Structure 1
């Protein structure tokens, strides 16, 4: 993705990684539309100069309505970042400990991006240069025991990204995959203060530098995520998994 001159829609960017990237992308000369569920946060961001759209990425109807609104207001839209996601600690010893959470996680983290891409793909294909950015995780490549459904949903996003890149190779749409490590956000309780997690500003600054230096990158990887991403290729996967779960045994990722 080129670092400037784009019109970018980022659902799930009223806080955390999404908002940090939205601010930096705007500072680089992009028009950024922020999507989210919480109207009070959208109002604050609108007052800060962002265009905003209410969207619930767990609701298929909300995605379609938001896509129509964004495309109508911004016909030059050429980048969609599927940022929205949830992470839940689960206990798979009995169904009450995981089933509802697993269903919600898959709906938000996997069906959400699929529906989002479906809502925008025809518009993006009509643009001379367009990009879809998916968001997986280092946990797509090495599992945290406390969050099975999150790990699985992000692994699915990785393979979805790989597959779409192949299938859309005959179009003007590029597919990039952002692979965050643990970052100090409110994704899980206590994560904002976790010494295990990467500081948010440090992560966002490094991502923007990667967009600048590697505009055609298929996978956007800060250095810190490579420990998780390449364990199997290095041959130390079991050690990576053990280290990850010893450092963060309760899901404070």
Structure 2
């Protein structure tokens, strides 16, 4: 993606990777809008970083997504970048009874929130001279962690959806990129300074370099071996498969 001259909306932008991306894009001169559920925190961010706007959003609420999308389109007509970053990561144990309400909350936030937010803005984005839809998935989309099985599955769903959407938007002005973070030292679970976690600043620096390219997926070098689990040829394979279907539609 082009890293300058954008109007960027970031869900889950009040902490962790979302806020760090907001700061990085803001420092490059982009107009940045961050979303979160806490009005006071949004106000603090805007005060600390003049020029970054905040908007209240419950990403798990479809009606609230529709409201925010309409407000964004009206207030920021040049909006051309959507960063689907909002996510939660509760623990679960798939060897026993998994809480259904908790699972629904994860999927509504991590997966359906991104699908709904993108759906609400995609026609506006397609009308821009250039636009980007960015998904924050996870290395756990490829190598799931058993203590967070539903979370890992939600990120695999985000990855799969991005692959399909990238193909379907191939002839438009909209590109689709995906960030696949490793374990980054943020408050997604608990900021701890664990040496196994990548420092947030280092992650953002490497990620911004990757986003400046046309790579469909951006991941830090430290997780290459894990990302190789399904193979780096996956994007070409999925594209070729969908192209074959497009050329020879399945009878309905």
CA contact (8 A) 1:179 1:225 kept: no
Distance 2:14 2:3 in 1: 21
Gaps of 5+ in 2: 233-252
Distance 2:154 2:69 in 1: 23
Structure 1 residue 233: Cα displacement: 3.3
Residues 75-105 of structure 1 deviation map (CA, whole Å, 9 limit, x = unaligned): 000000000011111022332x432221111
Structure 1 residue 143: Cα displacement: 1.2
Distance 1:109 1:160 in 2: 12
Structure 1 residue 171: Cα displacement: 1.2
Distance 2:94 2:222 in 1: 29
CA contact (8 A) 1:176 1:217 kept: yes
Equivalences for residues 49-68 of structure 1 within 5 A: 49=50, 50-68=52-70
Partner of 1:21: 21
Partner of 1:166: 167
Residues 121-142 of structure 1 deviation map (CA, whole Å, 9 limit, x = unaligned): 1100111101100111000000
The size of the alignment, in residue pairs, is 230
**TM-score w.r.t. structure 1 length?**
0.87
**Secondary structure, in 3 states, of the residue corresponding to 2:203?**
helix
Distance 1:79 1:186 in 2: 25
CA contact (8 A) 1:57 1:108 kept: yes
Structure 1 residue 51: Cα displacement: 1.0
Choose the corresponding residue for 1:219, options 195, 209, 217: 217
Partner of 1:81: 83
Distance 2:72 2:86 in 1: 16
Partner of 2:39: 39
**Secondary structure, in 3 states, of the residue corresponding to 1:177?**
strand
- RMSD between aligned residues: 1.3
CA contact (8 A) 2:93 2:146 kept: no
Gaps of 5+ in 1: 235-253
Distance 1:182 1:89 in 2: 15
**TM-score w.r.t. structure 2 length?**
0.88
Choose the corresponding residue for 1:71, options 64, 70, 73: 73
Distance 1:109 1:161 in 2: 13
Aligned structure 1 segments of 4 or more residues deviating by more than 6 angstroms: none
Structure 1 residue 211: Cα displacement: 2.2
**Secondary structure, in 3 states, of the residue corresponding to 2:160?**
helix
Equivalences for residues 104-253 of structure 1 within 5 A: 104-189=105-190, 191-212=191-212, 214=213, 216-233=214-231
Distance 2:165 2:231 in 1: 23
